[in-house]
Amino acid sequence: MEAKEDVKNEILSILDDYSKYYLNKDLDGLISLFVSDPDLVAIGTGADEWVKGRDQLRNGFIRDLSQADDIQMIFDKLTISSLGEVVWVSGALTMHASIDGSEVIMPGRATMVLIKTDTGWLFTHLHYSVPAEKQENGESWPE
């Protein structure tokens, strides 16, 4: 169910805003891209990074932004699909962060769900993960 071009362009614009807000450490901008719903879920790479609702999301973003000097996101290999007023996105997401003068690069995978609201498309679900380091190509299970 590949999304129509106009929907794809709207979603790409939101992903661009998401990246810019992270880079500029714009907490209010980041929060504005998400639904105000207690069922909102965002999952990160840390064992404790599973947040539900906007309050927990805000705290998660505060943590992210405070622990890095510079955060850049690069999306690649995106698939944007839709049905009615729901869009789901999957693709590669590489995070580049500067932490205490050292560069950290996290190549990962992202899935996102957005819904169409009166104000435009908003995230209702986001999941970012990194591949298992001990799992070789061609293997289904890490050793």
- pLDDT at position 142: 77
- pLDDT at position 8: 98
What's the CATH class of domain 5-129? alpha beta
Q: Identify the residue with better confidence: 124 or 142.
A: 124
Closest to 80 (Cα-Cα) out of 31, 130, 10? 10
> What 8-state DSSP symbol labels residue 46?
S
Confidence at 124, pLDDT banded by 50, 70, 90: very high
- pLDDT at position 132: 81
Percent of the chain at pLDDT exceeding 90? 90
Q: State the average pLDDT for the chain.
A: 95
- pLDDT at position 138: 85
- pLDDT at position 95: 96
Domain boundaries defined on the chain = 5-129
For 24-83, what is each residue's pLDDT tens digit?
999 999 999 999 999 999 999 999 999 999 999 999 999 999 999 999 999 999 999 999
Q: Give the CA diameter of the chain.
A: 48
Q: Residue 129's beta-bridge partner residues?
A: 109
Percent of the chain at pLDDT exceeding 70? 100
| Residue 126, CA distances (Å) to 48, 68, 90, 123, 142 in order | 15, 20, 10, 7, 24
Decide if pLDDT at 13 tops 80.
Answer: yes
Confidence at 15, pLDDT banded by 50, 70, 90: very high
